[in-house]
Structure 1
């Protein structure tokens, strides 16, 4: 097992090689047998760097450098969802990519976007993941043990919604948190070429619905 300082040195080299500004591809590195103390050291050293996402699952550490496409889709989905909640009068608290973690569960994750609905909470009601590269840590297992009520995945042009029911996630066709949101309408704008036009048209359709 590498020491914390050796691991961090390796990861710093990884970051230099896979600069978000210079790639259209996602890069993932996995390190096994990582202790909770090492994970927290990684967060302290690397967690605030833009373009780096860290996930921890029972000794497995995943570090991802997202692509431009990932960041564009992430940002647009957040803008669209927030526009919907503003237009329909739903109070929300944006938690962004705030790290969610539990030493007892030995799990931690940084969602692409996350929200508390109705009131602010320690654990967000909704976490959103943009999935362009398969493999890596099972993030749904991490979210389950952290108790996140609903998780959305944007994957291959489809919006997949999972609701936590009786301690397990079930895939559902409609959000339990936002039951009146037309998910097909939302999904039709996430990969739009022009975010400004997409947001303008989406807001207009919400107003007219």
Structure 2
């Protein structure tokens, strides 16, 4: 296995809001070596797409948002008796399609599978690798992006070659994402979770 090092000053990673550092012409085996190298640094995300590797640091705001979204979804699944399995921010990769990443949150529905049914991404900064292209290569059925205080929803079409933007979730057809968005209040997290639970009980 080749020796891989990251020559990136720590101050660069800490002082810039979620910096994205692109590396080009990175072979697959180097990507896998980097995954091992940064495996004990949970605030780093590695996204790989056909030779391009993007390294991004995660801000505290990012962590708070992804966590409350996950808590709200757990609350919904419990209220509706949906078997939801958490996959968290585990690395999912497929050498055959040259794709790999760590979702902010991910879930399987009904039972655990090799790849999650749903991935959730919190977007605070623009640009970077096209994550939908990565998810398409991994065959993830549904992806939610949380950006500018609302969700953007994408579902993989039956051919598995492109994502559509349907009006509601295919996996959670009765879930109103606009309603869910009202409770994404990290500074008011405990109360927001309770209020969302109460709204489900009354509907």
Q: Could you tell me the TM-score, scaled by structure 1's length? A: 0.91
Of 30, 33, 42, the residue aligned with 1:50 is 42
Q: Is the 1:101–1:108 Cα contact (8 Å) retained in structure 2?
A: yes
Q: Once the two structures are superposed, what CA deviation does each residue of 1:113-169 show, in whole Å capped at 9, x if it has no partner?
A: 000001111010000000111111100000001100000000111101101113210
Equivalent residue for 2:181, pick from 167, 184, 187: 187
Gaps of 5+ in 1: none
Q: Aligned to 2:94, which of 82, 96, 102?
A: 102
Q: Report the Cα distance in structure 1 between the residues aligned to 2:55 and 2:128, rounded to whole angstroms.
A: 9
Distance in structure 2 (CA, Å) of the matches to 1:163 and 1:91: 20
Alignment correspondent of 2:120:
128
Q: Which runs of 5+ in 2 are unaligned?
A: none
CA distance in 2, matches of 1:98, 1:9: 21
Corresponding position of 1:79: 71
Deviation at 1:18, TM superposition (A): 2.0
Tell me, in whole angstroms, the C-alpha distance in 2 between the residues paired with 1:189 and 1:180. Answer: 17
Show the 5 A alignment for 1:1-209. 5=3, 8-11=5-8, 13=9, 15=10, 17-19=12-14, 25-165=17-157, 166-167=159-160, 168-209=162-203
Taking structure 2 as the reference length, the TM-score comes to: 0.94
RMSD of the alignment, in Å?
A: 1.5
